[in-house]
Amino acid sequence: MLPKRLQPLVEATAGLSERFRAAGHTLYLVGGSVRDAIVAGDTAVEEVPSVGGKAPDLDFSTDARPDDIEALVSGWADAVWTQGKRFGTIGCKRDGLTYEITTHRAEAYHPDSRKPEVAFGDRVEDDLSRRDFTVNAMALRLPEMELIDPFNGLADLAARRLRTPLDPEASFADDPLRMLRAARFVARLGLEPTPELIEAVRAGHGRLSIVSAERIRDELDKMVMVPVPSVALWFVVRTGLAAEFLPELLGLALEQDPIHRHKDVLAHTLAVMDKTSPDRMLRLAALFHDVGKPKTRAFGDGGVTFHHHEVVGARMTRERMTALRYPKDEVETVTELVELHLRFHTYRLGWTDRAVRRYVRDAGPLLDRLNELTRCDCTTRNAAKARALGRRMDELEARIAVLGEQEELDAIRPDLDGTQIMDQLGLPPGRDVGAALSFLLELRLEEGPLGEEEARRRLQAWWDERPKPA
């Protein structure tokens, strides 16, 4: 008997399945919605879309060819799109639900190609054999809701086992991105990869080079958003997969020196990620925050140091995220968090109002993320040290709140704007106006709000004393 959880799927697919059956075609629900409906209630699995709640994306496989699919959904769907038609996929939307319907297919990559070749088929079993893992190679025949499970995915779910329908070498050759997906499924679903799967990744991770940077980036984003991302990232490190898309991660596995003891930087990095809230930008910043340490490590009488690793790390972060084709604004956000992540520790001797203002000004809209990254960066087992850092962070946030009420810290600006400066000093737009703004901003950071009258007096005095060109 199928679980009650499937009832929303029955209702959501009834009209569509009847259209296909009336036209003499079979239609199967496939993919994550089948898997998640079966394991509903398991807190380790991905959020299960709920019809009537969050609008789900439903994936289907059929023996109908793309032209037939398009004809069947036209007039029934509210909207239809055909961008994936050459790969056999027609997408549509009806009543807020998104449907993607694909002709039974097999796809494979040539060794030197990033784009799959597609061949259409007539049997759902053949289609399921080309899918990534057995837990995703199950289908529900519609409208009967008959479970089709030719590769024992249901048993693998019960046994918490990650396995491919075909030999893993063949599966990963078809689409090398599946090696990264394996890391995510290990972490998200709590599955144990088979020895054969692990060995196939170790032997074939170089094939990832044919996959586009955009696809790798999207998979990395999903990986860092699982509840415990370290599980996925340990998988990519231990199998060598990280070398193909994130070599900086392997670099963090610094050789331990028995004389100059220091933390295992890789283990520390992954622990910081696990502590952060599920904010993608924050987790990427946690992933990259110490990537500059290997290049800045030095030994001295006082032990090991990593001077300016935040600056080096910010540059490395920018290079890696750019290579992975992240949007420019996301590159800027993560890079800035990496560069600022040690700023808090420079004020350990006390926080003047000036220091607080500058910290807030430099962090800008990233302040909350920066504070959380700073807190999570403390992974020491020394309880007293951890409590001390927590107290200092609490004090800083309290100071920010108090000053913020007094001064609107989130919008620190000079007391005069550029137009007022030009009017007072009789200047045209140019470098002198910029220098005056910088002078007034420093005063604002040093002393707080001056008021317009005092700001004008200070500006005039600064201008009168400023050397003039001969």
Q: How confident is the model at residue 45 (pLDDT cuts 50, 70, 90)?
A: very low
Query: Could you say which of 411, 433, 456 is where a domain stops?
Result: 411
Q: Is 269 a member of any domain?
A: no
pTM, 2 dp: 0.78
Q: Is 111 a member of any domain?
A: yes
Question: Are residues 135 and 16 located together in one domain of the fold?
Answer: yes
Q: What is the pLDDT of residues 175-214, one digit of tens each?
A: 999 999 999 999 999 999 999 999 999 999 999 999 999 9
Predicted confidence at residue 428, as pLDDT, reads 86
Q: What is the pLDDT of residues 256-305, one digit of tens each?
A: 544 444 457 899 899 999 999 999 999 999 999 999 888 877 776 666 66
Question: Are residues 62 and 150 located together in one domain of the fold?
Answer: yes
Average pLDDT over residues 337-342: 92
Type of residue numbered 322: T
Write the DSSP assignment of 169-225 as a string of letters: HHHHHH-TTHHHHHHHHHHHH-PEEPHHHHHHHHHHGGGGGGS-HHHHHHHHHHHHT
CATH code at 99? 3.30.460.10
CATH code at 166? 1.10.110.30
Question: Are residues 201 and 155 located together in one domain of the fold?
Answer: no
CB contact set of 400 (below 8 Å; sequence gap of 6+): 356, 359, 360, 367, 409
137: helix, strand or coil: coil
Question: Are residues 35 and 127 located together in one domain of the fold?
Answer: yes
Q: Is 256 a member of any domain?
A: no
Q: Is 262 a member of any domain?
A: no
Average pLDDT over residues 429-450: 82
Q: Is 250 a member of any domain?
A: no
Which tokens is 172 given? 């990963």
Query: Could you say which of 200, 220, 245 is where a domain stops?
Result: 245
Question: Are residues 116 and 225 located together in one domain of the fold?
Answer: no
DSSP category for residue 45: S
Question: Are residues 70 and 167 located together in one domain of the fold?
Answer: no
Question: Are residues 327 and 291 located together in one domain of the fold?
Answer: yes
Instruction: Supply the range of the domain harboring residue 451.
Output: 418-465
Q: What is the pLDDT of residues 233-270, one digit of tens each?
A: 999 999 999 999 999 988 887 645 444 444 578 998 99
Predicted confidence at residue 305, as pLDDT, reads 67
Type of residue numbered 246: L
330: helix, strand or coil: helix
Q: Is 255 a member of any domain?
A: no
Q: How confident is the model at residue 106 (pLDDT cuts 50, 70, 90)?
A: low
Q: Rounded to an integer, what distance in angstroms lies between the CA atom of residue 188 and that of residue 177?
A: 17
Number of structural domains the chain divides into: 4
Q: Is 266 a member of any domain?
A: no
Question: Are residues 24 and 148 located together in one domain of the fold?
Answer: yes
Q: Is 270 a member of any domain?
A: no
412/415: higher pLDDT: 415
Query: Could you say which of 159, 180, 208 is where a domain stops?
Result: 159
Predicted confidence at residue 260, as pLDDT, reads 42
CB contact set of 91 (below 8 Å; sequence gap of 6+): 80, 81, 82, 83, 84, 98, 99, 100, 101
Question: Are residues 217 and 228 located together in one domain of the fold?
Answer: yes
Question: Are residues 283 and 400 located together in one domain of the fold?
Answer: yes
Predicted confidence at residue 52, as pLDDT, reads 37
Question: Are residues 425 and 347 located together in one domain of the fold?
Answer: no
- Name, of 98-112, 408-422, 428-442, the range with top average pLDDT: 428-442
End-to-end Cα spacing for the chain: 93
Q: Rounded to an integer, what distance in angstroms lies between the CA atom of residue 48 and that of residue 34?
A: 10
Q: Rounded to an integer, what distance in angstroms lies between the CA atom of residue 178 and that of residue 214?
A: 14
Question: Are residues 147 and 182 located together in one domain of the fold?
Answer: no
DSSP category for residue 103: E
